[in-house]
Chain A
Amino acid sequence: MTATTPIIPASLFHAWSAILAVAALAIAGEVLIAGAMRRLGDLDLLRDRPGIRGYLGPTRAVLSSPLFLAGALCMALNFFAMLYTLSIVDLSLAAPATASLTFIGNAAAAKIFLRENVDRRRWLAALFVCLGVILLAH
């Protein structure tokens, strides 16, 4: 038995359900956080005084945004879901699979929910990143 062998052998359905859940939580988290930051606008404009104390305003605005808090909760759940996934799936499959699904899913979710202009150039970039991550895992 090697060090990367999962502790519990999982069925194919079980393994891919866990991977999809990790990717879905990451997409939800990123889109919610991006939505929160879009609503707040340029954080530099929220700085009300010079120096390091000027960062208090933007920090307070971010931490009091419900969308940001919901996104952070999804990211925390994503972390624990990833830990569970790593206990049933090899890291060499889980890491590139969740990363590439998250990149493609983010592009689709950004177009649908954030109404971003995901043109051919951005779709191609998401696809290239997806393939690149899979190749880097080899």
Chain B
Amino acid sequence: MKHTLTPQRYLILLAVMLTASVGDTLLSRGMAQVGPVDFHHLDRLWHALFNPFVASGIILLIGFFASYMTALSWADLTFVMPATAFGYVVVALLSRFWLHEHLSIYRWTGIVLIVCAVGFVAGGPSRTEHPSRHPDLDLMDSGAGR
């Protein structure tokens, strides 16, 4: 069985990479506008849901969970894992180029390491195929035995 990913599956992996990090960033921005929530002001959590940043963050995180589960249905956990880690790189790059924060040499090295990790895994197969318990039936299903 070939393990080439279709363009649609690459899009799902891209969604895994982007939705979690951008969703977290939006939640953080929104909660900064809402202000601190404590036990005496729990009603602020309800109001937070109507903040546009918090609402968009929640929608993106639901999107992350859906795309993550979809990816796990056709790829190994150890294949999808570096894609989720790439979210850290997206947050670091957003903070550098959007929020104009300074990135230290440690952080740039961290970014390079995670990018390398994604490259290592992306070059290999996406799914481990276990040997079938009934190879004869598989042969008949494929039509090769006819």
Q: Are B128 and A116 in contact (CB under 8 A)?
A: yes
Contacts of B34 in A (CB 8 A): none
- A34-B77 in contact (CB<8A): yes
User: Are A135 and B110 in contact, CB atoms less than 8 angstroms apart?
Assistant: yes
0/1 per residue, A71-94, Cβ < 8 Å to B? 000000000000000000000000
Number of B residues with CB within 8 Å of any CB on chain A? 34
Contacts of A122 in B (CB 8 A): 78-79, 120-121, 124
- From A38, A43, A111, A132, residue with most partner B Cβ within 10 Å: A132
Cβ 8 A contact of B123, one of A33, A41, A121, A133: A121
Q: Judge whether B128 and A136 touch: CB under 8 Å.
A: no
Asked whether A114 and B77 contact (CB < 8 A) given A37-B72, A129-B82, the answer is: yes
Interface residues on A, range: 35 or more
Q: Say if the beta carbon of B117 comes within 8 Å of chain A.
A: yes
Given contacts A41-B73, A115-B130, contact A106 B113 (CB under 8 A): no
Assuming the A-B contacts A114-B76, A133-B110, are A121 and B92 also in contact, with contact meaning beta carbons closer than 8 angstroms in the complex? no
CB distance from B31 to the nearest CB of A (A): 15
Q: Are B70 and A129 in contact (CB under 8 A)?
A: no
* Contact B82–A110 (Cβ < 8 Å): no
State whether B120 touches A110 (Cβ < 8 A): no
**Known A129-B81, A136-B88; contact A116-B76, beta-carbon cutoff 8 A:** yes
A41 to B72 alpha-carbon distance, docked (Å)? 9
**Cross-chain contact B72 with A34 (CB below 8 angstroms):** yes
Min C-beta distance of B97 to chain A, whole Å: 16
Q: Does B69 contact A (CB under 8 A)?
A: yes
Which stretch of B41-49, B50-58, B101-109, B134-142 is in the interface?
A: B101-109
A32 CB, min distance to chain B CBs, angstroms = 11
In whole angstroms, how far apart are the Cα atoms of A128 and B117 in the complex?
A: 6
A40 adjacent to chain B (CB < 8 Å): yes
| Cα of A100 to Cα of B32 in the assembled complex, Å | 27
Distance in angstroms between the alpha carbons of A106 and B80 in the assembled complex: 11
* Contact (Cβ within 8 A) B111 A136: yes
- Residues of A29-83 whose CB lies within 8 A of B: 30-31, 33-34, 37-38, 40-44, 62
Chain B min CB distance to A104 (Å): 10
Report 10 cross-chain contacts, Cβ distance below 8 Å, ordered by A residue: A41-B74, A42-B73, A42-B74, A114-B128, A116-B77, A122-B124, A131-B110, A132-B85, A132-B112, A136-B110
| Interface residue ranges, A against B (CB under 8 Å) | 30-31, 33-34, 37-38, 40-44, 62, 103, 106-107, 110-111, 114-119, 121-122, 124-126, 128-129, 131-136, 138
